[in-house]
Structure 1
């Protein structure tokens, strides 16, 4: 009986219609994930006025959603490695779309906070599972690029929220921005039919026929027969999936990745929540302040696409460290008066080096760990990082309430970038799954050549 290694079949595939459909849906889902997470920062000035909130109260309400995101990232990331990523993805879409839309019907801050928390559970579970799914089915030569394109959806959604706010809120009120978030619910039946389950899960469940059809779409050169047995190229590890993150000499790597995610998300959610308000306090009109949020996410898209492509050639870690440092420098410079053109440039670079860096960091983590614990690794890393996201809105609210110089507000969100760069520099790549895979493949090639010579 012949053994077919699904990892090799997928790695050797070329980008085709199957990858395009998967790429489209993953990007679409992440776009609404980004929209739902960023929209609070777009409407917070209106909520402060309508509900007579202090900046600390507004920041606390924003944190409730991120608490949900933290729990969702950890729990749904672990759950997906057990019941399948497709099922978890669809469940998370239902949660975040429905309860974000319900925020538009909230009669008071208390109900709004409850809806945001429940929506956050779904939002937290989406990203790690989408990244893991795209990584599982991506050709080796374009893995970082495809994951980066998917993660650009976050910034597309991040641009949608303030753009729609500028045009729709004056006519229809802030509620409509939340109602738009319910659109993915209408497309769930189509997503159910077109989004695949991961190869590893199909093998574990013995669904070989379904897997064979999937692999034929992924790699048309693959042919299946009943005498074939599927296997995943992975490295067997004992213990719970969370415990495995620290096995095989990955303890330092996992710890430093968690620090990196914490600091990175502290920067990102601090900016997404408070950048419009900070620029408003600096003397810019509210519409102008929202445009800074659009530029921030536009910069993230451009930065992610460029660096994602370079990561396939040079490796993500080599690019991430300088990006975090550059992002921190740009945030410091934003605290000083400059021309509008210079400010837009700084905000765009900051977007590329904060949101863009986090996108590449997700791609890096998705390849660092074995497929069997990939969702867990991304989910737990994201969950730990969300603690930074929880702190960020409240921290920004406290800083604004203290009426500190605007430069100190930006400095507070710049320092985490330096810490993230330092933490990432301690992550040894030699223990990464892709390095082990390359080493094992090299050894097999050497043995094959030796056998041929004999």
Structure 2
């Protein structure tokens, strides 16, 4: 490649050693997602303190628990098309700044209404940041390690959510619930400065948008000097038949991608029904079941801790069929969540089941963006991943409202967790339908990895 005038950027990424520059991109995206998880889960951990300080009932918490989820959905749905038009870096950095300022502002809220409004704005930033971090990381990954690296980066989300629980259990008794939100605002502000200085734009995006060769060469030179004499860049890309002229949402909803898109939306939606039903309500439900507030918070924090298993799923997805791998994860999640509801009297068994159930669910959820990033081509990848995450956020809203309604009906803990387990079965079925509609054999999977996922469409960039 070093002596040629033309470089295929994905071939370049595939054949060049993963550089320190790409690891910096990985680290920045990882910390964006980690802080996203921290801020998203924070409201559930401070909920018991809100009940006590403001003297409100549990049903009154519904709006503030759901506010960030509505914001997350709005942010994700808007950010994907924006990033496909304006670039990954600009939207990712701006959205991180939004959730940093709004989360810090939430710590000064004087009423439930103020907190609800600020949580909505926080959610907009959070929802816009995550899909762009995923997309950017995917577009700097070699094909053979794309799912592994994307999943490893996205595992920051459950780690951040779990870390928030442990921090909340320590911080709230000393400094109150406001300290958790203040930390959730200051940390991403520091990260924004680092992103402005070190985060690159997606090179695949720059080629797809026909940006100047000098700009592309300057980024790729940070990975390898092999591009120094290059004046023309091309990109091997996936495109469904008849979809070349389309981009963004039109391509996501085109005939070649529609069934897969809808099934991924459904699977991610159902996974978040479970996640937010558990993460927002488990501290309160466990407290009502007789555990101390601190024990209830610590046990609940075990639930999102297990997302690091996604690294193993990513490794499997790079070698076999991702639809089936994640479907099995959802089925096992349903069994574990059912078990949680039956084990409340046994704290040791409860802790094991919460950790196992969380590991399975978070591994499956964390793997979904990598599945989406591999399914869509560059011209609609940010939109495709963002809309999956955005539509899925309504599952989070549904999960919070579902448990609120079940609690209002005074159903037992076993019954509540049985109902919450059902979406896991639905999610698994959705991915199996996607596999039937877009069948991918082992041979096709290996070919897609070797040839950048299928049909060849060269995007040429002239200029010297």
Q: TM exceeds 0.5?
A: yes
For 1:448, the equivalent position in structure 2 comes to none
For residues 39 and 344 of structure 1, do their structure 2 counterparts lie closer, same or farther at Cα, with a shift above 3 Å needed?
same
Aligned-residue offset at 1:254:
1.1
> CA-to-partner distance for each residue in 1:225-252, whole Å, 9 max, x for gaps?
25x2112222362345112113252221
Contact 2:127 2:390 in 1 (8 A): yes
1:263 shift after superposition: 0.6
**Please, which moves more after superposition, 309-318 or 406-415?**
309-318
Note if contact 1:155-1:300 (Cα within 8 Å) is conserved in structure 2.
yes
Q: Which residue of 2 aligns with 1:307?
A: 313
Equivalent pair of 1:68/1:120 in contact (CA under 8 Å): yes
Say if 1:190 and 1:66 are closer, same or farther in 2 by CA, change over 3 A: same
| Cα displacement (A) at 1:394 | 2.0
C-alpha contact 2:447 2:453 (8 A) present in aligned 1: no
Question: Following TM superposition, by how much is the alpha carbon of 1:200 offset from its aligned partner in structure 2, in angstroms?
Answer: 3.2
Give the equivalent residue in structure 2 for 1:119.
122
- 1:141-180 CA deviation, whole Å, 9 max, x = no partner? 2211111111111122112211111111111110000000
For normalisation by structure 1, the TM-score amounts to 0.92
- Conserved 8 A contact 2:327-2:432: yes
Task: Tell me the equivalent position of 1:49.
Answer: 52
Give the aligned partner of residue 141 of structure 1: 144
Does 2:129 match 1:131? no
Preserved CA contact (<8 Å) 2:71 2:127: yes
Question: What are the within-5 Å matches in structure 2 for residues 55-66 of structure 1?
Answer: 55-66=58-69
The Cα shift of 1:348 comes to 1.3
1:71 equivalent in alignment to 2:78: no
Matched, 1:395 2:402: yes
Give 3-state SS (helix, strand or coil) of 1:187's partner: helix
**Superposition pairs of residues 408-419 of structure 1, within 5 angstroms:** 408-419=415-426
Note if contact 1:60-1:394 (Cα within 8 Å) is conserved in structure 2. no
1:210 corresponds to 2:197: no
CA contact (8 A) 1:81 1:375 kept: yes
The answer to which structure has the higher helix fraction is 1
> Separation in 2 of the partners of 1:438 and 1:166?
44
**TM-score scaled to structure 2, two decimals?**
0.90
Quick one: which of 255, 258, 268 aligns to 2:262?
Answer: 255
Aligned counterparts of 1:308 and 1:293: Cα–Cα separation in 2: 25
Match of 2:328 among 316, 322, 333: 322
Q: Aligned pair 1:81/2:88, yes or no?
A: no
Match of 1:332 in 2: 338
Counterpart contact for 2:30–2:156, Cα < 8 Å: yes
* Structure 1 unaligned spans of 5+: 446-454
- Segment drifting more, 97-106 vs 276-285: 276-285
Instruction: Tell me which residue corresponds to 2:98.
Output: 95
Q: How many angstroms apart in 2 are the aligned matches of 1:184 and 1:13?
A: 32
Match of 1:197 among 177, 197, 201: 201
Distance between the aligned counterparts of 1:404 and 1:88, measured in 2? Answer: 44
Q: Deviations over 1:342-371 (max 9, x none)?
A: 212211111122122110111111111101
* Count of aligned positions: 442
Contact 1:70–1:383 (CA<8 Å) still a contact in 2?
Answer: yes
- Matches for 1:168-179 after TM superposition, within 5 Å: 168-179=171-182
Q: Which residue of 1 aligns with 2:389?
A: 382
Cα distance in 1, alignment partners of residues 41 and 137 from structure 2: 23
Find the aligned partners of 1:91 and 1:277 in 2 and give their Cα distance: 34
The structural deviation recorded for 1:431 is: 7.4
Contact 1:266–1:413 (Cα < 8 Å) also in 2: yes
Q: How far off is 1:426 after superposition?
A: 0.7
d(CA) in 2 for partners of 1:437, 1:142:
13
Distance 1:442 1:319 in 2: 19
Q: After the TM superposition, which of the residue ranges 178-187 and 111-120 deviates more from structure 2?
A: 178-187
Alignment of 1:265-304 (within 5 A): 265-301=272-308, 303-304=309-310
Whole-Å separation in 2 of the counterparts to 1:316 and 1:421: 12
Match of 1:365 in 2: 372
| Partners of 2:91 and 2:111 in 1: CA distance | 31
Instruction: Assess, with a 3 A threshold, how the Cα gap between structure 1 residues 390 and 181 changes in structure 2: closer, same or farther.
Output: same
- Structure 2: which 5+ residue stretches go unaligned? 457-464
Mapped contact 2:102–2:119 kept (Cα < 8 A): yes
**Aligned mates of 1:260, 1:334 — CA distance in 2:** 22
1:365-398 deviations in whole A, cap 9, x for unaligned?
Answer: 1111101111100111111111111122222222
Partner of 2:428: 421
Q: What is the RMSD computed on CA atoms of the aligned residues?
A: 2.3
Q: Does the residue aligned with 1:313 lie in a helix, a strand or coil?
A: coil
Partner Cα separation in structure 2 for residue 85 and residue 431 of structure 1:
29
